Amino acid sequence: MRKALFVLLLLSILLSSCRIPESALAGYDTNPFLEERVINVDNSTLVFFTDAHIGRERNRKDIKRFDGNFISFIRDGGYDVVISGGDMADDGELSEELMDFIDKIKSSASLYLETKGNHDRHPYNYKGDDLSSFWLNSILMADTHVTYADIMESEYGIDSTGRYLISTPDGDISIYILDTSLRSFSSRQLSWLEEAITKDNTTFKILVSHINIVSGGAFDQSLFMTGLGDEGEISRFMEICKKGNVSLVLTGHHHKGNILYGDGSGYTEFNGAAYHRADSSFESDGWWYTLSLDREKSEITIDGYDAETSEKKKSWKIGAKL
């Protein structure tokens, strides 16, 4: 009996790590990174946050959010562009609370961009009454549920996978919103990305992925709870970034965050901490960030803010490839 359970567990792990990720891009017939979406803004500073997990606080009493602080921060700062690193939903739930939060962000900024996270694809309410569908959807990718990730763009107009050309007083910024919600880029997405970046002469290029590409900074949990599952994809992605003069890759996923990999001279990734606060050694106290771009100095400054106080707590500077 024990051997049978061990075999089933091992099979589940293997299946979950061998999903067919091309299905995440099934809705795209052509390269979404070549569809240039142009937005003119007056502010050269971007706001970034990740892993909000709206609704998790209903099941965990230690979870705290500071939405009022965040919305006030955006409005008071006059920030035009707000970017989410994914996992806005918790277990795929498209709740009124989540949509109200997003509506407030969209009414406070000119552009709200969002990548898909793994929790955005979770089948909602599997814990309550549908455990079998959870395994079908999470392991075999049977798509038995409609989740937040499935309808966030089609019904709510939330911008997702693709390239966004943002024209600012300090130069143009190309924001590439990637889909790594299945712990993979897929060969198709990487080919599309490589084609688009090769043709992109924008001053600043910033890529956004939910899953962290580099793992193990500061001996945090990503050291053993790795990000992407394919070393070949990771290597190819980094090479695309280097050849394409990508200034910065923004990631989230493992909640601890506040880690900068690289200095701007090669591949550079900033892994953000979770937006919500949690009483856990594996999670953060709640953060969001601003990215200030300086063309004259060829520099990007990342400032981290404490969600509870809205005060700047930490800064990172990197050289930007122009």
CA distance 310 to 59: 26
pLDDT value at residue 21: 53
Residue, of 179 and 60, whose pLDDT is higher: 179
Alpha-carbon torsion angle 233, 235, 239, 245, nearest 10? 80
Average pLDDT over residues 149-158: 64
Which helix (DSSP H) or strand (DSSP E) does residue 109 occupy? none
* pLDDT band (50, 70, 90) for residue 171: confident
Alpha helical stretches, state H, 218-306: 231-243
Residue, of 280 and 189, whose pLDDT is higher: 189
Give the SS3 label for residue 3.
Answer: helix
pLDDT value at residue 255: 85
Average pLDDT over residues 39-43: 91
**Is residue 15 over pLDDT 60?**
no
pLDDT value at residue 155: 60
The answer to which of 29-38, 40-49, 54-63 has the lowest mean pLDDT is: 54-63
**Is residue 81 over pLDDT 70?**
yes
pLDDT value at residue 64: 86
Comparing CA positions, the residue from 194, 172, 291 lying closest to residue 238 is 194
Residue, of 315 and 214, whose pLDDT is higher: 315
* pLDDT band (50, 70, 90) for residue 16: very low
When the pLDDT of each residue in the chain is averaged and rounded to a whole number, the result is 82
The answer to which of 31-45, 66-80, 212-226 has the lowest mean pLDDT is: 212-226
Q: Give residue for tokens 């050269």.
A: 44
Residue, of 269 and 56, whose pLDDT is higher: 269
**Is residue 240 over pLDDT 90?**
yes
CA distance 140 to 146: 15
* Token pair for 223: 């050291």
**Is residue 151 over pLDDT 90?**
no
CA distance 67 to 174: 28
**Is residue 271 over pLDDT 90?**
yes
Q: Give residue for tokens 């930490």.
A: 314
**Is residue 196 over pLDDT 90?**
yes
**Is residue 235 over pLDDT 60?**
yes
pLDDT value at residue 75: 97
Average pLDDT over residues 28-56: 90
Predicted TM-score (pTM) of this structure: 0.85
Rg (CA), the chain: 19
Give the SS3 label for residue 49.
Answer: strand
Residue 267: other Cβ atoms inside 10 A = 18
* pLDDT band (50, 70, 90) for residue 20: very low
Average pLDDT over residues 83-94: 86
